[in-house]
């Protein structure tokens, strides 16, 4: 009852980073509850995945050898079956696109509360979760007034566990109700192709919501030209159709690591930061001094981009 | 055919704000239609427009009377009528968690009996990103989360939602989902229309049906959450950036020399 179950994530044969972070989060929580840490691997090459996820702090690994790729019906059924068997106090899943495709169903089916997008967790007789609200403007503390709960954790918030472990690996006896599998993954598509690969650029000028209007894109194009840089953007610019999808930096776009990244009118939502925080030097130009982009910037200009950018273009012409 | 689309009025926080008790001081909040729901509404209206048969688009909102302004925006864009769930017990609820919202929406689904439910991926304010999928499981619908392409013909003619799900890292998953289903709609899936003047006029006479817990056959226990928000604070800023001060020209000059040091503009 004091155990913790984590469900690993993989895609197209690769274990996703958040799986290693789940081990860390799960171990911390299991230490606090005094329970064991169980790890579930569902679908794909489960034996290979189990070997690689046999990490320090994991007590038991359960493999569910059914199907190849992620299917939410299979994951929901398998997770619920494992919970029946293991009787964990807490179930931790990734707050990824796929995690959010089955974790809410698991919570509903087991009649357990769900706290999603956790960035911190403590247990002191009861579970307390830290999570953000209002687009990362505030942090909140959520106390869970239930003995058991499900949580999805945000990627990149816990350190990855790398050290080898010596967990027991066992195949979990599971046969899904196939009549309840009513969705089929038919393929994958890479969407960021096209004329330019922003991941190859040494210098990126990246434009965000602060540019306000499609016709103002020209201004940042001019800046990129003056600097010999490539133009990229945050999500809203692509959503609006002002730049093509292959220009998008972030969780759902490209991950970039240029020598210099110049964020123009980008607030720095977590999904964007995930795609550019590895840049060598980060410059932020934004009117809002509290914009989260400044937390990771090396150089900051608090000011109106419509005043600063033209001056900057002049400097380089 | 009937499409139910969830519409939430969300609060957006101004750049500078204060926290009062356990929420942002309302003086610093602006209310608007949740960005993701705008795209869900557009998908719903496009479904209705593409159909030969009559397709009714009904929106459902959990929100106080103030949210009717936001609901009117959805009505002006082509939603046929709206349901708004609220009463004193909901108002008094400390924290509407996913399970609470699902209990309310489940009751509305039972009344409306839709063929497909569209919701936004998440709400801008609370950002749980879970209500749509949890609702699907509760009402026995299939589902797909984070849908950024939807084949409307398949929904209308084949009883299948052929979708793209936007995974991380520029990868989309192609999935076929049997109807009835709940789809959570990602921003960028379409171009949400602006309401026309005619639409705005028509919206004034469209129905927004208020529903209380008892109207839905529920009582206060439906909004008893096991989650409690016990603290809210501004995250500590960890910035160790070098800031350039002065007017725009001075800032640009200082930034330019920093950039040149990094080899920018050298060619």
For testing the chain A interface, which of B159, B167, B266 should be mutated: the one with the most A CBs within 10 Å? B167
Return residues 34-73 of B near A (CB < 8 Å).
Answer: none
Structure confidence at residue B105 (pLDDT) = 98
**What CATH number does residue A246 fall under?**
3.40.50.1220
A97 located within any domain: yes
CA–CA separation, B130 vs B143, rounded Å? 12
Structurally, chain A folds into a number of domains equal to 2
pLDDT of A1 over the 90 cut: no
pLDDT of A23 over the 60 cut: yes
A203 located within any domain: yes
CATH topology of domain B2-223: Rossmann fold (3.40.50)
Structure confidence at residue B267 (pLDDT) = 55
Q: Do B134 and A281 touch (CB under 8 A)?
A: no
List residues bridging with A5 in a β-sheet. A38, A91
A133 located within any domain: yes
CA–CA separation, B38 vs B120, rounded Å? 8
Contact indicator for B186, A236 with CB cutoff of 8 Å: no
pLDDT digits (tens, 9 = 90+) for B60-74: 999 999 999 999 999
CA–CA separation, A50 vs B20, rounded Å? 48
Q: Tell whether A11 and A152 lie within a shared domain.
A: yes
> What mean pLDDT comes out for the span B110-137?
97
Q: Tell whether A64 and A174 lie within a shared domain.
A: yes
Helix (H) or strand (E) holding B60, with range, is strand B56-62
> At which residue do the structure tokens 């990229």 appear?
A232
Structure confidence at residue A252 (pLDDT) = 87
Q: What are phi and psi of A182, to 5 degrees?
A: -115, 25
For chain B, the structural domain boundaries read: 2-223
Q: Tell whether A166 and A18 lie within a shared domain.
A: yes
- The token pair at A189 is 């598509």
Q: Tell whether A168 and A219 lie within a shared domain.
A: no
A190 located within any domain: no
The ipTM of this complex is 0.94
Tell me which residue of A140, A156, A157, A136 sits closest to A291, measured CA to CA. Answer: A136
Q: Tell whether A208 and A110 lie within a shared domain.
A: no
| Of the residues A136, A154, A180, the one at which a domain ends | A180
CA–CA separation, B37 vs B190, rounded Å? 12
Q: Do A138 and B124 touch (CB under 8 A)?
A: no
Nearest to A182 among B17, B24, B142 (CB): B142
List residues bridging with B199 in a β-sheet. none
Structure confidence at residue B236 (pLDDT) = 79
CA–CA separation, B104 vs B72, rounded Å? 21
- The token pair at A230 is 């490539």
> At which residue do the structure tokens 């993989």 appear?
A10
A186 located within any domain: no
Structure confidence at residue B134 (pLDDT) = 98
Q: Tell whether A100 and A39 lie within a shared domain.
A: yes
| Of the residues A122, A147, A180, the one at which a domain ends | A180
> What mean pLDDT comes out for the span A273-290?
94
A126 located within any domain: yes
pLDDT digits (tens, 9 = 90+) for A293-308: 999 999 999 999 999 9
| Of the residues A180, A211, A236, the one at which a domain ends | A180
pLDDT digits (tens, 9 = 90+) for A59-110: 999 999 999 999 999 999 999 999 999 999 999 999 999 999 999 999 999 9
Q: What are phi and psi of B102, to 5 degrees?
A: -65, -40
Q: Tell whether A101 and A247 lie within a shared domain.
A: no
List residues bridging with B116 in a β-sheet. B3, B181
Q: Tell whether A46 and A127 lie within a shared domain.
A: yes
For testing the chain B interface, which of A137, A290, A295 should be mutated: the one with the most B CBs within 10 Å? A137
Pairing of strands B171-178, B160-166: antiparallel
Structure confidence at residue A193 (pLDDT) = 67
Which residue range(s) make up the domain with A125?
4-180
Q: Do A182 and B178 touch (CB under 8 A)?
A: yes
**What CATH number does residue A97 fall under?**
3.40.50.620
> What mean pLDDT comes out for the span B104-125?
98
List residues bridging with B10 in a β-sheet. B32
Q: Tell whether A292 and A204 lie within a shared domain.
A: yes
Q: Do A97 and B146 touch (CB under 8 A)?
A: yes
Q: Tell whether A164 and A205 lie within a shared domain.
A: no
pTM, two decimal places: 0.93
Q: Do A143 and B230 touch (CB under 8 A)?
A: yes
A24 located within any domain: yes
Cα radius of gyration rounded to whole Å, chain A = 22
Enumerate residues 6+ apart whose C-beta is below 8 A from A286: A210, A263, A265, A266, A267, A293, A294, A300, A301, A302, A305
Contact indicator for A133, B126 with CB cutoff of 8 Å: yes
Provide, as residue numbers in chain A, all residues whose Cβ is less than 8 Å from the Cβ of B146.
97, 100-101
pLDDT of B1 over the 80 cut: yes
pLDDT of A276 over the 60 cut: yes
A192 located within any domain: no
List residues bridging with B81 in a β-sheet. B58
> At which residue do the structure tokens 């019906």 appear?
A73
Structure confidence at residue A192 (pLDDT) = 64
Q: Tell whether A242 and A133 lie within a shared domain.
A: no
Structure confidence at residue B239 (pLDDT) = 79
Q: Which residue of A has its CA nearest to B170?
A: A253
Q: Tell whether A202 and A176 lie within a shared domain.
A: no
pLDDT digits (tens, 9 = 90+) for A173-219: 999 999 999 999 999 998 766 778 898 999 999 999 999 999 999 99
CA–CA separation, B176 vs B164, rounded Å? 9
Cα radius of gyration rounded to whole Å, chain B = 22
What is each CA distance from A13 to A44, B148, B159, B187, B216, in whole angstroms?
Answer: 7, 24, 31, 28, 46
- The token pair at A163 is 């050290």
Q: Which residue of B has its CA nearest to A253?
A: B170
CA–CA separation, B186 vs A13, rounded Å? 26
């Amino acid at each position: 009852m004091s155990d913790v179950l984590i469900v690993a994530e993989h895609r197209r044969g690769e274990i996703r980073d958040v799986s290693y972070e789940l081990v860390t989060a799960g171990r911390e929580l299991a230490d606090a509850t005094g329970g064991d840490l169980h790890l579930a691997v569902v679908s794909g090459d489960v034996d290979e995945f189990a070997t690689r996820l046999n990490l320090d702090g994991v007590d038991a690994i359960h493999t569910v050898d059914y199907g190849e790729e992620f299917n939410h019906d299979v994951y929901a059924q398998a997770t619920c079956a494992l919970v029946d068997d293991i009787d964990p106090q807490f179930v931790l899943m990734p707050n990824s696109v796929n995690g959010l495709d089955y974790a809410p169903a698991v919570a509903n089916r087991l009649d357990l509360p769900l706290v999603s997008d956790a960035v911190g967790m403590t247990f002191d007789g009861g579970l307390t979760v830290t999570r953000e609200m209002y687009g990362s403007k505030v942090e909140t503390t959520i106390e869970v007034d239930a003995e058991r709960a499900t949580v999805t954790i945000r990627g990149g918030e816990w350190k990855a566990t790398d050290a080898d472990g010596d967990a027991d690996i066992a195949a979990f006896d599971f046969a899904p109700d196939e009549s309840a599998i009513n969705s089929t993954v038919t393929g994958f598509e890479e969407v960021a192709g096209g004329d330019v690969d922003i991941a190859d650029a040494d210098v990126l000028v990246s434009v965000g919501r602060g540019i306000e209007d499609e016709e103002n894109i020209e201004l940042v194009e001019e800046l990129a030209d003056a600097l010999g840089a490539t133009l990229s953007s945050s999500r809203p610019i692509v959503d609006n159709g002002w730049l093509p999808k292959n220009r998008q930096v972030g969780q759902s776009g490209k991950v970039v690591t240029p020598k210099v990244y110049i964020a123009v009118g980008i607030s720095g939502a977590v999904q964007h930061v995930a795609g550019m925080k590895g840049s060598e030097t980060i410059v932020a130009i934004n009117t809002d001094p509290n914009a989260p982009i400044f937390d990771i910037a090396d150089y900051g200009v608090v000011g109106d981009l419509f005043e600063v950018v033209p001056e900057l273009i002049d400097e380089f012409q | 055919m009937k499409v139910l689309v969830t519409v939430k009025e969300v609060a957006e926080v101004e750049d500078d704000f204060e926290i009062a008790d356990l929420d942002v001081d309302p003086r610093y909040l602006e209310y608007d239609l949740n960005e993701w729901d705008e795209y869900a509404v557009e998908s719903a209206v496009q479904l209705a427009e593409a159909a030969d048969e009559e397709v009714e688009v009904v929106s459902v909102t959990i929100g106080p009377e103030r949210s009717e302004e936001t609901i009117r925006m959805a009505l002006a864009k082509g939603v046929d009528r709206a349901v708004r769930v609220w009463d004193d017990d909901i108002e008094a609820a400390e924290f509407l968690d996913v399970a609470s919202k699902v209990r309310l929406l489940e009751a509305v689904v039972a009344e409306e009996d839709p063929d497909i439910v569209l919701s936004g991926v998440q709400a801008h304010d609370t950002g749980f990103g879970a209500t749509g999928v949890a609702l699907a499981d509760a009402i026995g619908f299939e589902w797909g989360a984070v849908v950024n392409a939807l084949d409307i013909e398949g929904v209308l003619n084949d009883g299948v939602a052929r979708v793209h799900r936007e995974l991380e890292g520029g990868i989309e998953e192609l999935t076929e989902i049997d109807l009835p289903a709940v789809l959570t709609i990602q921003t960028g899936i379409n171009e949400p229309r602006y309401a026309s003047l005619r639409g705005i006029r028509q919206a004034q006479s469209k129905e927004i049906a208020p529903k209380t817990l008892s109207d839905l056959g529920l009582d206060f226990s439906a909004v008893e959450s096991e989650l409690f928000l016990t603290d809210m604070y501004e995250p500590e800023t960890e910035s160790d950036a070098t800031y350039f001060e002065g007017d725009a020209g001075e800032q640009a000059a200082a930034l330019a020399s920093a950039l040149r040091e990094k080899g920018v503009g050298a060619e």
